[in-house]
Amino acid sequence: MKYLIVGLGNMDIEYDGTRHNVGFEVVDTLVKKYEAKIQHEKLGDMANFKFRGRNIYLLKPSTYMNRSGKAVRYWSEKLNIEKDQLLIIVDDLNLDFGKIRIRAKGSDGGHNGLKDIQQNIGTDYARIRIGIGDSFHKGQQVDYVLGKWNENELKELPTILTKVSEAALSFAFHGLQTTMNQFNS
């Protein structure tokens, strides 16, 4: 069985370490832990490794966040990934920092990356939303989302990335329902 785990973010170096790139950080955590080799491929950086007999493919789309759907559709088709084998990992400013929410399907919740994915493949795919909080003043949403983690967030971030990485692998090994029961916070 094979699974495609997609972390959303923006490739440019200026976005490294920003809240909006937390999906990329989860992929990087998995790449490091499982010593996978990341390759620059069409529409994204790809890596793969085996986990308990499953083939895990990791994708960091090289399209900008708001065009992620093209990369997700391309790699899903190329790898023959069914929607129940696809997991998208994304930031969510509507959730408190560090909170995670796993869903089988749903709306884009105002997230432009998810909106583009839904325009390309529909809404029936699993997603993990990682709370980045909403500690910004009116009109400062873009600056906040594209801003770097603060000192307190950076202290907690490794624990959050580990938890989300474990949830992603649980999705591949135990299935969505068990993963939701165990990891939704």
Amino acid at 115: K
Query: Is residue 174 among the annotated active site residues?
Result: no
Nearest to 171 by CA among 50, 86, 69, 83: 86
Residue 155 to residue 72: CA distance in whole angstroms: 31
**Rounded to 5 degrees, what are φ and ψ at 118?**
-65, -35
126 secondary structure, DSSP code: E
**Structure tokens, 29:** 């955590």
In whole angstroms, how far apart are CA 175 and each of 17, 31, 128, 156?
30, 21, 13, 27
Question: What is the set of active-site residues?
Answer: 20
